[in-house]
Amino acid sequence: MQCLRAPLSDLSVLERQRPRVEWQQQGEEQSDYQPYDADYCMQSLLPVETAFRALHSCGGGVENENHGNVHGSNDCFSNAWPDIASGMHCPVVGAAASVEETSVNASSSSSSSRKRKSENTRRSKENSGSDGKDDINCKRLKEETGGGATPEAEQPTSKENDKAPKSDYIHVRARRGQATDSHSLAERVRRERISQRMKYLQDLVPGCSKITGKAGMLDEIINYVQSLQRQVEFLSMKLAAVNPIMDINIDSFFGGREINPTCKPGSISMIGMSSELLDQAYLQLGSLQHDMFMDSPALLLRPDVNPPAAVSDTSLGSCLNVSGSSVWNTNLQNVYGVEFQLGRGTALPFQSLQGNLLPNNPKMEM
Amino acid sequence: MTISNGDGDSAAKDGRRERKRKRRAEPSLVKWKTEGEQRNYSSKLIEALRRVRGSSAAGAASAATDHSRSRAVREAADRALAVAARGRTRWSRAILCGRTLKRRVLPWAGRPKPVGPARAAERSKPPALKTKARVLGRLVPGCRKLPLPSLLEEVSDYIAALEMQVRAMSVIAEALSAVGGAPSPAQPEGPM
């Protein structure tokens, strides 16, 4: 966790370190990054604690290093340490809060420093391009620590600390500052939102649990939506084929199924029916409806309900007469009429209602 | 430490947006699975079907070829679905506003990849994602130029609604065909 909340005063420290850093730069790219990394990171870290560590690592580095630069760096370090200590003290005081963090993170700093080290080398060579990555990495680190107060000020400086040895840091830092952190943060938030929704969709779309990655998921989703739409088309074709026969079918079908027990008279009146009749219908059919809903096809077959074949116009007429549905015809232009009939054990009155349905269709317009 | 102003604003905005989105997304998806909603949709669909039948009968079934009839049925079903969605989602509003766009989109929907920028020239990751998002946006009515997060939300609601539509239509079709076909009941009640 190298992104420290270093105040801008670190710049002076860094500048002071730079000549020493450049000394180390020579050996930096050649081999064995790790000790260097530790040196760098420790060196760049603000708190005195890291300076201590740097000393230790320098001592360790002496053995590991192949280059004489290490010795030089150690010397530098030892020489620089008082400066660093003194120089760091100022920022340390200001960054007292971050000291603990760095101490906590110091253990992980070496590994992360290695990563950063490779980035540093890349950056030193390319001098650009990885700004976005830096920002992202910095973002990540920042977010891990719960965000930073002044990301633009902190991250560049912290990054700069990490890469203090690089003279390119200055340029990189400027560029990094321009790649606004708020944008990357917003990007990250957006990406998280997208992944959230993708996970949600994963549960929705069958067979997507094994697929990871947005592209594959999107493919699966597209396929699924297309298949659903194709299913709807197929079913609509089927329904259209059944439609001509629907006169009978629908009526018998209506008896069992589509009436919503939760449908309130208010909603019914929306369809242009008289609420009074509907209330009556409800009262009569209320008990029956529950049974009807259970099993629409079975209902159709009940002996109470006339078989569909017989349900045709004659039954309508009878129904109309029996139920006095003349009033219904005008008012109840919907299933509810059927339910009335069914309630009385007669069959479907709808046939007669259908003629009335047409003029009232606009009212029933969905 | 607190987030900076810029970040805080965006975070607050995102939080607000997310809150709104969460409120929209969760209840609507649950609602598509309830029995009551399916029955509600079925009743609306049957009304529409009756109307379609009436219109086709009035036209002496001459203009009503199988194709046009099935298309009319499908449009009625989609419109009923959009009404059931109560217009809270983009696709439902788009369906209710006009079907011409959807008709134009349909021929393209079959194509897996659009004839656009991703014409096998570049398959790098971001464009591939973007083209797929565009394809998906074309599939869902009224969601063509939507950014990915909102598009995914619309898609999830649309998928749930489509599933319910398929369930309801299959039940209706089965019942109707069973009734019309033979006195013996096919008992496909399904989710009911």
What pLDDT digit, counting tens, does each position of A15-50 carry? Answer: 555 555 555 555 554 444 444 444 444 444 444 444
Torsion angles phi and psi, residue B136, rounded to 5: -60, -40
pLDDT value of residue B109: 53
What pLDDT does A317 receive?
41
Average pLDDT over residues B89-110: 68
Torsion B66-A247-B79-B35 (CA) sign = negative
Interface of A with B in 293-332 (CB under 8 A): 293-298, 300-301, 307-308
Q: Given CB atoms, is B1 within the 8 Å cutoff of chain A? A: yes
Inter-chain touch A235–B166, beta carbons under 8 Å:
yes
Decide if B162 and A229 are in contact by the 8 Å CB cutoff.
yes
Mean residue pLDDT of chain B comes to 70
Give residue-wise pLDDT tens across range B50-68.
Answer: 777 777 666 555 555 778 8
Q: Which of A184, A217, A258 to mutate to test the interface with B (most CBs of B within 10 A)?
A: A258
Q: Do B158 and A271 touch (CB under 8 A)?
A: no
Residue contacts between A and B (CB atoms, under 8 Å): 259
* CB A151 within 8 Å of CB A177: no
**Are the beta carbons of B48 and A260 separated by less than 8 Å?**
no
Cα dihedral A37→A39→A45→A47 (10° resolution): 150
User: What confidence score (pLDDT) does residue A227 get?
Assistant: 93
Q: Which pair of structure tokens corresponds to residue A326?
A: 């003349």
Interface contact B156-A200, CB threshold 8 A: yes
Interface of A with B in 62-121 (CB under 8 A): none
Check CB contact of B39 with chain A, cutoff 8 Å: yes
Residue B163 has pLDDT above 80, yes or no: yes
A104: left (phi over 0), alpha (psi -120 to 50) or beta: alpha
Token pair in block for residue A187? 């990007």
Residues A276-323: tens digit of each pLDDT: 443 443 444 334 444 444 444 444 444 444 444 444 444 444 434 444
Q: Is the pLDDT of residue B192 over 60?
A: no
A222 to B136: CB separation less than 8 angstroms, yes or no: yes
Q: Where are the alpha helices (DSSP H) in A145-261?
A: 151-162, 169-178, 181-204, 214-242, 246-256
Average pLDDT over chain A reads 53
Residue A59 CA to residue A54 CA, distance in Å, equals 8
Pairwise CB contact (< 8 Å): B4 & A335:
no
Closest CA to B99 of A95, A366, A234: A366
User: Do residues A172 and A127 make contact, with C-beta atoms less than 8 angstroms apart?
Assistant: yes
Cα nearest neighbour of B170 on chain A: A235
Confidence of residue A230 (pLDDT cuts 50, 70, 90): very high
With contacts defined as CB-CB under 8 Å, which chain A residues touch B29?
204
pLDDT above 70 covers a percentage of chain A that reads 17
Q: Hey, is the C-beta of B69 within 8 angstroms of any chain A C-beta?
A: yes
What Å distances lie between residue A238 and A126, B46, B63, B188, CA to CA?
Answer: 64, 14, 18, 15
The alpha-carbon gap from A135 to the nearest alpha carbon of chain B, in Å, equals 14
pTM (global) more than 0.80:
no
Q: Which positions ≥6 away from A273 have C-beta within 8 Å?
A: A331, A332, A333, A334, A336
CB contact set of A98 (below 8 Å; sequence gap of 6+) = A4, A5, A6, A46, A47
Using an 8 Å CB-CB cutoff, list chain B residues near A296.
Answer: 171, 175, 189, 192
Distances (CA, A) of A105 to A21, A47, A200: 23, 12, 35
Say whether residue A258 is in contact with chain B using an 8 A CB cutoff.
yes
A253 Cβ under 8 Å from any chain B Cβ: yes
Chain A positions in Cβ-Cβ contact with residue B166 (cut-off 8 Å)? 228, 231-232, 235
Q: Does B30 touch chain A (CB under 8 A)?
A: no
Residues of chain A found within 8 Å of residue B128, distances taken between Cβ atoms: 215
Is the complex ipTM higher than 0.95?
A: no
A205 interfaces chain B, CB cutoff of 8 Å: yes
